Amino acid sequence: MSSVTSLLAIFATAALALSVMGCGQQPLEIAPAGAASATETAVGPVPGSGRLLPVRPNPYADNPTAANEGYQFFNWYNCSGCHGAHGGGGMGPSLRDPVWIYGGSSDHVFASISQGRSNGMPSWGTKIPEQQIWKIVTYIKTMNTSSEIDPPTMPLAAQQEHAASAKTPASTPPAP
């Protein structure tokens, strides 16, 4: 009889433990019949929908004062920490290239800065005022142009090598 009593005690303890473990959990809700499935309703823009988003023009485009301020903001917000001192790339992509991953128009660059990108670019839209982002875009758009604020310079050794190779005449074919 004691084995039956101990078996009942074990069963009661296990039942009590299971009921305690279930405390505080909400029961699963079942969607009512005829309810729309979660995949039928789009949340946000649908990729590839063919709908073009409006283009926002840069209010500071071709403004040298804004480009100079953008250069200061570029350094102040440490953009060079990822993109390099002259935007040539580092941990982040080069800003001097003609081909851009997310589009190189001023509007696309603004969106990349303000919204961020999935492979490492943080979203700055809540931390940097919109006017300052546009000025940073204005500075970035001067890179690799004649109006660049602080163009990179070639190291002295490379300058000397380049000058020496320019003085050396190209090899000429042998005379017949």
Nearest 5°: the CA angle 110, 74, 144 is 80
pLDDT band at 39 (very low <50, low <70, confident <90, very high): low
DSSP state of 26: P
DSSP 57: P
Number of Cβ atoms within 10 Å of the Cβ of 116: 14
Q: What is the pLDDT of residues 119-153, one digit of tens each?
A: 889 999 999 999 999 999 999 999 988 888 888 88
Return the structure tokens found at 69.
Answer: 């301020």
**In CATH terms, is domain 64-142 a member of 1.10.10.10?**
no
- Helices 64-76 and 130-142 pack at an angle, to 10 degrees, of 100
Q: What's the pTM?
A: 0.60
For residues 150 and 136, what is the distance between their CA atoms, to the nearest angstrom?
A: 14
pLDDT, the chain, mean: 80
Instruction: Look up residue 141 and give its two tokens.
Output: 């758009």
Pair of tokens at residue 131: 């006017």
- At 83-108, the pLDDT tens digits run 998 898 999 999 988 888 889 999 99
**Rounded-to-10 torsion of CA 77, 80, 81, 82:** 110
Q: Where are the domains of the chain?
A: 64-142
Which residue, among 139, 10, 141, has the nearest Cα to 67 in the 3D structure? 139
